[in-house]
Amino acid sequence: MEPEEIAQLRTMFVFTPPPGHSWGLTFEGFEARLRERDPDTFTRVDDGEEGPVRGAAMIYGVTFDDEDLEGFASLVPEGVTVRECNAHMAARFALWLRNNVAPADVPVMFNTDWGIEEGLEPTLVPDATRPRIVAALVQHIEDTGGLD
């Protein structure tokens, strides 16, 4: 499969701070940042009694470049996911997280549901342009070994 074909595959991307670090993530703060980006954002806090996530999580939907993205934010473990997303949109989302959610001195790490299933450790989102971030996301997808 060519890199551009891989970049179009959709999966769940998981963004987290590095181990031992925190973004200081709160549901209220994350919702405010989402609404700055898209006033029509929807959010719902799930206390863990029902739904796809154990423990408290904020489920959200936001529009990036005319594409509706959905995911959830979790405080423990701390992180934000975006579901059914390709590498191009995940790179835009990662840049937005780095510039609007994560403190300037705390990097953004990523994994995918495929990487988690394969036991891969989170990888640093490069401090680079969007095309280089897309390339890192594509390399991660290749590293999961599920494309054979």
Region 41-50 average pLDDT: 78
Summarize pLDDT for 126-141 with one digit per residue, the tens: 999 999 999 999 999 9
95: number of Cβ within 10 Å: 16
Mean confidence (pLDDT) of the chain: 91
Region 111-128 average pLDDT: 94
Contact 13, 108 (CB under 8 A): no
Instruction: Report the predicted TM-score, pTM, of the whole model to 2 decimal places.
Output: 0.91
Q: Name the H helices within 9-143.
A: 27-37, 87-100, 113-117, 130-143
